Structure 1
């Protein structure tokens, strides 16, 4: 099981009251599920409702700077010292 640094941004950071934390898991899905178990309010912001574990369409997750959508998605295998960035939708003007 890999130890991964998870960086949270915007309202995700505010809800967890932490900008980063270290979690363990074999895949991106494992780590994100661990995150939402620790911080239940994040669940509805990261995952779509339903039986299947699926990211909300507007959430972007980056592994070492690469979007997991261009990798194996939630099934992407993690290694020790990887870094996940979880980005909610951002608007500005």
Structure 2
């Protein structure tokens, strides 16, 4: 099973108490669900409350710099050494 580096940004990083974790999974969904198992407090920030996993509209997930919305979304297959970045909305000035 591929090992993936997951980088957390902004309030996700603050809530998890770490900026990155190494997780295993075949798809983006597998890895995100493993992240929630590791840090349950992130679930409401990342996923909608639905029967099937669905990202909140404001969350952007990138695989190796590419938005998964332009790939196979949560079903995007992973390879060893891939990097996922999870970006919540950020404001400032």
TM-score w.r.t. structure 1 length? Answer: 0.98
Residues 14-51 of structure 1 show CA distances to partners (whole Å, capped at 9, x for unaligned) of 11111011000000000000001111110000000021
Instruction: Give the RMSD, CA atoms, in angstroms.
Output: 0.6
Residues 31-83 of structure 1 show CA distances to partners (whole Å, capped at 9, x for unaligned) of 00000111111000000002111000000000000000000000000000000
Give runs of aligned pairs for residues 1-93 of structure 1, distance below 5 A. 1-93=1-93
Q: Which secondary structure state, in structure 2, belongs to the residue aligned with residue 7 of structure 1?
A: strand
Task: Tell me the number of residue pairs that the alignment of Structure 1 and Structure 2 aligns.
Answer: 93
Cα separation, 1, equivalents of 2:52 and 2:27: 16
Q: Which secondary structure state, in structure 2, belongs to the residue aligned with residue 62 of structure 1?
A: strand
- Provide runs of 4+ in structure 1 moved above 6 Å: none
Instruction: Could you tell me which runs of 5 or more consecutive residues in structure 2 were left unpaired when the two chains were aligned.
Output: none
TM-score w.r.t. structure 2 length? Answer: 0.98
